[in-house]
A and B are shown apart, each in its own frame.
Chain A
Amino acid sequence: MYALEICGLAKTFKGKKMRTVEALKGLNLCVEPGEVLGFLGPNGAGKSTTIKCLMGLLRPTRGSATIQGRDISSAEARRSVGYLPENPAFYDYLNAEEYLLFVGRAFGMAPELLAQRTEEMLKLLELWEHRKRLIRTYSKGMVQRVGLAQVLLHDPDIYILDEPMSGLDPIGRALVKEIILDLKKRGKCVFFSTHITDDVEKICDRVAVINKGQLLVVDSVQNILQQGTEGYTVTVVAGDGRREEVFVTTDRLQSFIRDAAGESRSIEKIEPRRKDMEAFFLEIVAR
């Protein structure tokens, strides 16, 4: 069973004066349990729309989706999900601790466990000292941290995060990366949208690229990086100890190594030179 299964999802917004926006045009996507999938796309591509449909906030115009086999139209489907909205806002008359208690109760957590997890999450996201302050007084990044805390609170199997890094300082970003990698290690499924190709490269198993409401590519990060390999930078040490860096294309690599051995030059280092995720992304979207 897939953690997330999206079948032919389409969403059309009806604007004023008969104007319509086709935000999603028949999206098909499956996410395995235990997989970290990056949802990459430029502004207005339809990432948030997809996620809002999954969370039952928007009603799809066509198509369907399931979360762990349960149709998204029922509230029960969301029981195993932690969702972080884009630019989140939480009841600002509560403090962080009260909000987490509210979320935990909605998930039916036992009181002792809830108290313990609340403390852990507040400490993990460095909100512990601020837990008694009203969310109204929080900075943007602190609100984002509250959002992450409420996602992790009930330890769900599936994480749906809409731009989890947005609004965070470098320390916060590093922390989020660490958290996602830790979730991956524990076999959780993470589906997150982002614009930052570097994050995808570092933490995702697979990447799905969306533009103008259509899915362009779904592939493993490893494949993409492999395919993007243009050649290798080979460092060779000649007989007299002189070091030299040579660029070798992929098809010539084997013969180069053989020749080097014949000429008694030793090879010190072979580094693939490749297009990174960003180049790949730009190329795909421009296509």
Chain B
Amino acid sequence: MLNMMRITLKGVFRDRVFQGIMALAVLFLFIPSAASLSMRQVTELSVTLSLSLISFILLLLSVFLGGTSLWRDIERRYTFGVLSLPLSRSSYILGRFLGLALFLVLVSVVLGVAACVAVNVASSLYPADRPVVWSFVALALVYATLKYILLVAVALLLSTVSTSFFLPVFGTICTFLASGISQQVYEYVHSAAAVQTVSPLFRQVVTAVYYLIPNLAGFDLKINAIYSVAPNPRGLALTACYFLAYTAILLAGSIFLFNRREMK
């Protein structure tokens, strides 16, 4: 499994997709100047921009690397060589997942440092009213990373049943988008106003989807970081538990399905 992780990491670093996406990190250079255009709340804006940029990069990485890594192995027939080693399918999947997860962690550490520099530069140019609480920024980063690691698990699960990269890549994007709005839609169809207009069947479907797809709202601590508001520790703990449980279920599903998969 460690072996598989190592190979995964090596593969990612030598991947063109990774190199292309990381080129986006150059945008950090422009954050201080972009933020300073606003003249007010320069620090807050630079924190917002930095965190958004990191989120965006992590999203791209998790969708494309998570969605294509298994597909590529099967498509290019690397699996014949690899799965015929005395390596169980479960350690293959876990190795892939942990390799990608570790990679996302590394990327967010590196980008986090870049963000700190950018925010520091911005706030030294235009001192903020409220000082940046770095621990909140770090916390926001950690939870963003967890969110995208969970998304990698979604992508892997979809890859185990799919023969193309279409389902994993677009399925993961859809999951991400849907999870962003599922809370609001759920609340709407259960609201008093909607009870009259929405059919019961639709309400049930929405409820089912709401419980099925991951709820990623709790992972978003951007507001806390930007306005230096302490996050609720109980919420943090719950979100962490949610992450562990949901990821474990996704991985168990992936292993179950991949064990049944035939290498044709």
Binding site for B on A (CB under 8 A): 13, 52, 55-59, 75-76, 78-79, 81, 83, 85, 87-94, 98, 102-103, 105-107, 147, 150
Q: How far is the CA of A180 from the CA of B79 in the complex (A)?
A: 25
B86:A78 contact, CB within 8 angstroms:
yes
A107:B262 contact, CB within 8 angstroms:
no
- Which residues between 2 and 18 of chain B lie within 8 Å of chain A, taking CB atoms? 3, 6-7, 10-11, 14-15
A106:B80 contact, CB within 8 angstroms:
no
- Whether B249 sits at the interface, judged by CB under 8 Å, is no
**Which interface residue of A13, A52, A75 has the most chain B CB atoms within 10 A?**
A75
Rounded to whole Å, the gap between the CB of A166 and the closest CB of chain B is 14
- Chain A residues with Cβ below 8 Å from B84 are 55-57, 78, 81, 83, 85
A90:B78 contact, CB within 8 angstroms:
yes
B81:A90 contact, CB within 8 angstroms:
yes
Once A57-B262, A58-B262 are accepted as A-B contacts, the answer to whether A106 and B78 lie under 8 Å apart by CB is no
B11:A93 contact, CB within 8 angstroms:
yes
A57:B86 contact, CB within 8 angstroms:
no
Once A93-B10, A106-B3 are accepted as A-B contacts, the answer to whether A88 and B262 lie under 8 Å apart by CB is no
Q: How far is the CA of A68 from the CA of B77 in the complex (A)?
A: 27
Cβ-neighbour of B7 out of A75, A76, A89, A91 (below 8 A): A91
A107:B86 contact, CB within 8 angstroms:
yes
Cβ-neighbour of A150 out of B3, B7, B81 (below 8 A): B81
Not counting A13-B264, A52-B263, A58-B264, a sample of 4 additional A-B residue pairs whose C-beta atoms are within 8 angstroms of each other reads: A83-B84, A89-B76, A90-B81, A93-B10
A106:B85 contact, CB within 8 angstroms:
yes
- Whether B128 sits at the interface, judged by CB under 8 Å, is no
B87:A75 contact, CB within 8 angstroms:
yes
A105:B11 contact, CB within 8 angstroms:
no
B262:A59 contact, CB within 8 angstroms:
yes
B264:A94 contact, CB within 8 angstroms:
no
Q: How far is the CA of A106 from the CA of B83 in the complex (A)?
A: 10
Rounded to whole Å, the gap between the CB of B5 and the closest CB of chain A is 11
A75:B86 contact, CB within 8 angstroms:
yes
- Whether B162 sits at the interface, judged by CB under 8 Å, is no
Question: Mind listing 23 A-B residue pairs with CB under 8 Å?
Answer: A55-B83, A56-B84, A57-B79, A57-B263, A58-B263, A75-B86, A75-B87, A75-B88, A78-B85, A85-B77, A85-B84, A88-B80, A89-B76, A89-B80, A90-B81, A91-B11, A93-B10, A93-B15, A94-B7, A102-B7, A106-B3, A106-B86, A150-B81
- Chain A residues with Cβ below 8 Å from B15 are 93
**Which interface residue of B78, B81, B87 has the most chain A CB atoms within 10 A?**
B81
Q: How far is the CA of A154 from the CA of B6 in the complex (A)?
A: 20
- Chain A residues with Cβ below 8 Å from B263 are 52, 57-58
- Chain B residues with Cβ below 8 Å from A103 are 81, 85
Q: How far is the CA of A75 from the CA of B10 in the complex (A)?
A: 25
